[in-house]
A = this chain, B = another copy of it.
Amino acid sequence: MAFARNPAVRVWMHLDERCAGFFALGMAKSAGRAVAVLCTSGTAAAELHPAVIEAHHSFTPLLVLTADRPPELREVGANQAIDQARLYGTAVRWFFDPGPPEELPGASRIWRRLAARAISEAEGPPAGPVHLNLPFREPLTVPPGEAAGAEPPQRAPTRVRRGHSLPTEDTVAGLTRALSAAQRPIVVAGELRAGDRLRPALDALLRRFDAPLLAEPSSQLRRRSGVGLVEAYDALLRDPRWADAHAPDLVLRLGAPPTSKPLNQLLARSGATTLVLEAEDGWRDPEQLAEELVRCDPEPLLRQLAARLPGSSRGWQQEWRDAGLIAAAAIHRRLAATPLHEGHVVRALARELPERAAVFVGSSMPIRDVDTFWPPAAPGQRFLGNRGASGIDGLVSTGLGVTAALEDAETAVLLLGDLSLYHDMNGLWAIRRHGLRAVLVALDNDGGGIFSFLPHAQHTDVFEELFGTPLGLRLEDVARLYGLDFLEVRDSSELQPALRQAFAADGSTLVAARFDRAESVRGHRACWAAVAEELLPVSSRGPRGGP
């Protein structure tokens, strides 16, 4: 009630706390600052756990406020009283329980200091979730008109000023030497929510550093004008001849580890010197490759490296870029000749996407297909996902949280598989309750597509039951339930009109792109085969330079 009556606070009411947690997470991911989520006591607090874990691993500032019963009602079988102390274990930056409110002198100062501290700890660095457990005694309400805690604040709240972690001279000099010595360097950019901030510095570096840029959409660095950008590198590297002929000797990695499996495999087997830049005090190196882990703001580091490098080119960056263009063209032609699958949907979405848009991409297949098929984007197009813990839960709500925190004139798109849509179907409630406008594109292959690409598929006796997991729900009925416009696409020719209609609509539209899982596997493999065929004349020339 205090929040609802405070004009400085906007309340987004939810009914399913799991949705509320992910919605707040999406808002915080989009806005880049702390968002508070409030719930009652008991299992409601546990419902926030998945979102807290994603916030932890994705360095998202989240302020989790759980109401609780007072100490005398804990461990005595009282209603909705569970042990909420450190409920989220190691997944929070800070936990504090101030005890039930007391009418102490200066109470408002105590509470405001606690709030300032909690927000500061959540915003980091490293950013992440903070949990305040807030017990209350009855009466839980005071009669209307009687203001509770009416004591006016005596002092301004504490403003927190933090230092800025800049690279040391030793770091810059060491990395300059490493980069200068490299013969076959590459720059790899994984998820970086504020990646657009790095663009000028990275462009400057790549003008003077003869390295290709392999950037996922979620790095915000796969831009049409991006210097050194390689298109379709995932497809390129699926050709083992081409990949082996272009194994790097130095890898400069930014942000989260890459999504692309062939890229990860190449990085692991190349033996390249690996330098990982971590802005947020993470240690994200699943293949255990890093020789240097640099924890500071990467922007001034990139800028200083650019200023110090000599700026000569041996055509290495250009060779990657040329191959990327060949691969992209091969994919384009092969898609035109194959039945609908994820690749067509991603390409069509990229064509029709407004210049200012936030695309929330689901885990599992969508994040990989966007990495594989999305062409270089416009500067105003952002890409977000839940790559911290890579769950398929809470994706609708996270995407709608992003929608709720859109910047001016931005359009929101959610690209999700049908299982993810089902998993967080409750999240759709926020669309009608809060009048949100988003385009939801469901990759509807009636089940879990990713396992068809894995060795699990050989186990035909149990595969469909345990891994295919057909959903068996009609998404038309989901749209009806939640009052969404619905469009079905079964052929790639229907994608453009459907997406145009969805982007033009006043309300939210669910576009279901329907295809067969087996057809999708064939379609993907046909793309890789087409790329390999086109690259044959290139890679048969043999390794360039070479050890």
Residues on A close to B: CB < 8 A? Answer: 1, 4-5, 11, 13, 15-18, 42-44, 46-47, 49-50, 52-54, 56-57, 72-73, 75-83, 86-87, 89-91, 139-141, 143-144, 256-257, 282-286, 288, 389-391, 393-394, 419, 422-423, 425-426, 429, 432-433, 455-456, 458-462, 465-466, 469, 471-474, 477-478, 480-482
Contacts and interface: CB of A to CB of B under 8 A. Distances in A.
Contacts of A393: 16-18, 43-44, 47
Contacts of A469: 13, 15
B76 A288 contact: yes
Contacts of A256: 77
B91 A433 contact: no
Contacts of A466: 1, 4, 11, 13
A139 B455 contact: yes
Given A15-B423, A15-B469, A477-B477, 16 more contacts: A1-B466, A42-B390, A42-B391, A43-B389, A43-B394, A47-B49, A47-B50, A72-B288, A77-B286, A78-B286, A80-B389, A82-B91, A139-B455, A141-B456, A141-B458, A480-B481
A145 to B, nearest CB: 9
Query: How many monomers of this protein are in the complex?
Result: 2
Contacts of A423: 15-16, 426
A60 to B, nearest CB: 13
B50 A46 contact: yes
Nearest to A52: B46
A82 to B, nearest CB: 5
A284 B285 CA distance: 48
Contact of A455 (B72, B143, B285): B143
Contact of A4 (B82, B257, B462, B482): B462
Nearest to A482: B473
A429 B421 CA distance: 13
A79 B390 contact: yes
Contact of A82 (B389, B394, B432): B389
15 contacts: A5-B461, A16-B422, A42-B53, A44-B393, A46-B50, A47-B49, A72-B288, A77-B257, A77-B283, A82-B91, A143-B458, A422-B426, A473-B481, A474-B481, A477-B481
A139 B454 CA distance: 11
A43 B88 CA distance: 12
A80 B481 contact: no
Contacts of A15: 419, 422-423, 469, 471
Nearest to A423: B16
A391 B43 contact: yes
